[in-house]
Amino acid sequence: MSEEVLLAECDGVLEVTINRPEQRNAMTKVAAAGIAAAMDRLESADHLRCAILTGAGGSFCAGMDLKGFLNGELPVDERGGFGGICTWTPGKPIIAAVDGPALAGGFELALACDLIVANKNARFGIPEVKRGLVAAGGGLVQLPRLLPRALAMELALTGEPIGAERALELGLINRVTDGPAVEVARELARAIAANGPLALAASKGIVRDSWLWPIDRINEHQTPYVEHVFTSEDAREGARAFAEKRTPVWKGR
């Protein structure tokens, strides 16, 4: 793992930190590969239940490293896209903990996660048009799905950012905190990690993939996500633990 991406584990949660604070964690090819590798680790390790993605030094990510871009570098992973995560994510949940700027590709990284916690001074935006570029890491696709079209268009065409409180009002993020975002992200992660892993993966998959399911075929599309969950050992353990008034012991099977 590169020093541009730091990993730590605690109680089933993988913390992934972009570690380029002097460059406001601007994304490089090396950092993108590091995040992609961390996502592979999350996916394959049974003891890991979810992840937190954050940035070092009071910034989340200021987008693509423009110096690298001028040298012909694109900070993308072949499978995961920009930052190693924008076109593929693991089945397990990911929380973005945002301090300072989450701009351009940084905003797209946050949107690629499943939940977003932000410090009150965080800023979100896709200012690519100000540099003659396009928010092609998912921002122009995700924002019209998450916001009214007029608001998504304004963010895309003006390139102006919005603050954390406005992002919360619009439903783009989950929490705003006075302190470091990672502290509240850890609270959310603990709440997630306490739940059944098969149920978590199925729930995330349905929420993410059901955008285009026709209403009359929801059960047809949903069944492959859930049928193994209802027949699993974990489902029986969850019911048994509830009846016995104890904490479930999940097996992930």
What are 184-200's pLDDT values in tens digits?
999 999 999 999 999 99
Task: Return the number of other C-beta atoms located less than 10 Å from residue 175's C-beta.
Answer: 18
At 102, is the pLDDT very low, low, confident or very high (cuts 50, 70, 90)?
Answer: very high
Alpha carbon separation from 20 to 1, 38, 101, 183, 189 (Å, rounded): 14, 17, 13, 20, 24
Taking only the tens place, the pLDDT of each residue in 1-59 is: 569 999 999 999 999 999 999 999 999 999 999 999 999 999 999 999 999 999 999 99
Residue 71 has pLDDT above 90, yes or no: no
Residue 138 has pLDDT above 60, yes or no: yes
Q: Which two tokens stand for residue 107?
A: 């905003």
Q: What is the pLDDT of residue 123?
A: 96
Q: What is the pLDDT of residue 154?
A: 96
* Known catalytic residue at 128: yes
Is residue 118 within a helix (H) or strand (E), and if so which, with residue range?
Answer: strand 115-119
Q: What is the pLDDT of residue 2?
A: 66
Asked if residues 111 and 142 have their Cβ atoms less than 8 Å apart, the reply is yes
In order of their start, the domains of the chain are 5-193 (3.90.226.10), 197-243 (1.10.12)
pTM score of the predicted model: 0.93
Q: What is the pLDDT of residue 32?
A: 95
The predicted model gives 68-93 an average pLDDT of 89
Q: How many CA atoms are closer than 13 Å to the CA of 34, on its beta-carbon side?
A: 20
Q: Which of 3, 4, 73, 128 is catalytic?
A: 128
Q: Which two tokens stand for residue 91?
A: 């089945």
Q: Which of 9, 108, 165, 187 is catalytic?
A: 108
- Range with lowest mean pLDDT among 63-72, 84-93, 136-145: 63-72
At 66, is the pLDDT very low, low, confident or very high (cuts 50, 70, 90)?
Answer: confident
* Known catalytic residue at 165: no
